[in-house]
Amino acid sequence: MPIESTKQQGTQIERRTFAIISHPDAGKTTLTEKLLLFGGAIREAGAVKGKKARRHATSDWMEIEKQRGISVTSTVLQFSYRNRRINILDTPGHEDFSEDTYRTLTAADSAVMLIDAAKGVEPQTIKLFEVCRMRGIPIFTFINKLDRQGKDPLALLEELEEVLGIRSCPMNWPIGMGQEFRGIYNRTDCRFERFTERGEETQDIQVDDIDHPSLREELGPELHDQLKDEVMLLDIAGDPFDAELVGRGQLTPVFFGSAIANFGVETFLNQFIDLAPAPGPRQTDAGVIEPTNSSFSGFVFKIQANMNPAHRDRVAFVRICSGKFERGMNVLHVRSGKKTNLAQPQQFFGQGREIIDEAYPGDIIGIFDPGLFRIGDTLTESGRFHFEKLPQFSPEHFARVYVKNTLKYKQFHKGIEQLSEEGAIQVFRQANRTEDMVLGAVGQLQFEVFQYRMKAEYGTDVELHNLPYSFARWIETSEDIEKLNYDRHSIIVVKDKDDRLVMLFPNEFSIRLVLDKNPGVALHSTSYGM
Ligand code: GDP
């Protein structure tokens, strides 16, 4: 075993490293801001970026990126709260960049699933949830916007189960909604929190049990009876809280609130801190690495290039998995076998960044990338092992790419190779025609940024021809691929960067047809575990 003996690091504060997953407009920016306020990381609301970029056209977006540079494209927001260090992995606001978001989730130890009470489970939430499920990480649910009329809370729980297939355990329960919203009743400590529009201080009502007269007086007989009925129903028919099931991602604790009114957020944060997991062991090709292992290790999950062609600096974001990181330390870049010095590590704090001297498991550091790093690379202080490969995710847009000036062929290939290593785009090759490249992107905007960067950074004009596919599926079969029964006019087989076979489909129906016709074949929407 290349893994050093373990030594407990007693002095270090425990981390809670998580990402918020949601559909656009559910209130992620608002919730993040409120969480930061509790940590004292920002002084006023309105400081969290990410939102503004979303609705702009591509050119504007790039202009913004240029102005903001890498320091503002926040990747992690860190603050201390109670006796914990919180790392919120921020995910790109623009839904077209969900591939980046997917990969960011591999660096998280848990996820907060934010749901708009009026909209319920939305498409982007489903996709992100699937990534969390694949990793088996705990998922905590915050149902937002209770100050507006939304769906019935019981119906929302049903939706979690039916659409996502996850069981839920409400930690608190809302009383009324919208104009009638009165507050939440915390099931664990029988505490009623009165809703106030602007998060003004009010006195909670602490009772011994739900039948208490002071609660009845507060709510009036009708709402009180309704609360009692619903909570009784949850007690009898609902799932009890089970830390083990939560830990495996099979049961989600549910909290209700209103992010904008800063209501229910503190209660959520307090319980989340207690229930969410600390950084855990991570799988490598040489066995499991414990966070308590004294020797530093980590992996690159994101590479951020500066859009400004005058400064071609790239930052690689590293999730620390074990040991202690110290500024200036020499580490092994396992893939190349090269030693590299991590001289200017940066940590991101709200909108700013600062040079840091040390960091611990669960932390994310940004390191200057001289062009050495790829997504998924492992760094170690001692030992030669690799963390699990980061999966590739199914693109939803495909295009063939051509270089306009054939004299630029070399640049063209270099650009494509580097940008795909950086994870900016996925590259597939048609199995029998090595030169015929197919690019895949999760969002159309990703293509536009690719085109822009090929020109700006590699001096190459490229042309993209859209292809009529919408789904990629990694193929698992023991049979000869040539013998598979599928429609060769509408489906093509390509290879990904690691030579795994992938089928590109025009629609879901065609995926089902292939599965029906080829019983021995399994199709996967990511390369995870392959
Ligand atoms: P994001 O797209 O998920 O980051 O969502 P934002 O935080 O930007 O919120 C989207 C919209 O919903 C904004 O207009 C917010 O003011 C609003 N919003 C967020 N939280 C709440 C809430 O608790 N109640 C209500 N009524 N609106 C909210």
Q: What is the ipTM of this complex?
A: 0.99
* pLDDT in the model for residue 487: 95
Which positions of the chain have pLDDT values less than 50?
1-11, 43-73, 307, 349-351
* pLDDT in the model for residue 92: 63
Residues 6+ away with beta carbon under 8 Å from 492 = 430, 438, 469, 503, 504
* pLDDT in the model for residue 346: 62
* pLDDT in the model for residue 392: 84
Q: Residue 39 Cα, ligand 1 centroid: separation in angstroms?
A: 20
Q: Whose CA is nearest to atom 2 of ligand 1?
A: 25
- Ligand-binding site membership of 144 (annotated): yes
Query: Which pTM does this prediction carry?
Result: 0.86
Residues 6+ away with beta carbon under 8 Å from 353 = 71, 346, 347, 366
Q: Residue 522 Cα, ligand 1 centroid: separation in angstroms?
A: 40
Q: Whose CA is nearest to atom 24 of ligand 1?
A: 145
CA 503 to chain centre: 25
- Ligand-binding site membership of 431 (annotated): no
Report which ligand 1 atom has the smallest distance to the Cα of 148: 26
Q: Which residues form ligand 1's pocket by a CB distance below 6 Å?
A: 22, 24-30, 51, 144-145, 147-148, 258-260
Which of 143, 148, 260, 262 gets mutated to test ligand 1 (max ligand atoms within 8 A of its CB)? Answer: 260
- Ligand-binding site membership of 92 (annotated): yes
* pLDDT in the model for residue 276: 96
- Ligand-binding site membership of 56 (annotated): no
Q: Residue 31 Cα, ligand 1 centroid: separation in angstroms?
A: 8
- Ligand-binding site membership of 527 (annotated): no
Q: Tell me which residue of 401, 385, 500 sits closest to 446, measured CA to CA.
A: 401
Torsion angles phi and psi, residue 25, rounded to 5: 80, 0
Measure the CA angle with vertex 372, ends 447 and 402; round to 5°: 30
Residues 6+ away with beta carbon under 8 Å from 480 = none
Name the token pair of 435.
């030169």
Q: In this structure, which amino acid lies at residue 273? A: I
* pLDDT in the model for residue 98: 65
Q: Residue 41 Cα, ligand 1 centroid: separation in angstroms?
A: 20
CA gap 309, 252 in Å, rounded: 45
Q: Classify burial at 516, counting beta carbons within 10 Å of its beta carbon; exposed 0-12, middle 13-18, buried 19 or more.
A: exposed
The sheet with strand 346-349 has its strands ordered as 338-341, 330-333, 378-380, 297-305, 314-322, 364-369, 346-349, 352-355
Report which ligand 1 atom has the smallest distance to the Cα of 257: 23
Q: Residue 21 Cα, ligand 1 centroid: separation in angstroms?
A: 14
pLDDT digits (tens, 9 = 90+) for 13-61: 789 999 999 998 999 989 988 988 887 755 444 444 444 433 333 333 4
Q: Tell me which residue of 129, 138, 142 sits closest to 170, measured CA to CA.
A: 142
Tokens 């070399």 map to which residue? 410
Report which ligand 1 atom has the smallest distance to the Cα of 23: 3
- Do 197 and 261 form a contact (C-beta atoms < 8 A)? yes
CA gap 528, 392 in Å, rounded: 7
- Do 91 and 104 form a contact (C-beta atoms < 8 A)? yes
- Ligand-binding site membership of 26 (annotated): yes
Residues 6+ away with beta carbon under 8 Å from 157 = 168, 170, 238, 254
Q: Residue 11 Cα, ligand 1 centroid: separation in angstroms?
A: 39
- Ligand-binding site membership of 328 (annotated): no
3-state secondary structure of 256: strand
CA gap 341, 327 in Å, rounded: 9
Report which ligand 1 atom has the smallest distance to the Cα of 30: 7
Q: Residue 196 Cα, ligand 1 centroid: separation in angstroms?
A: 17
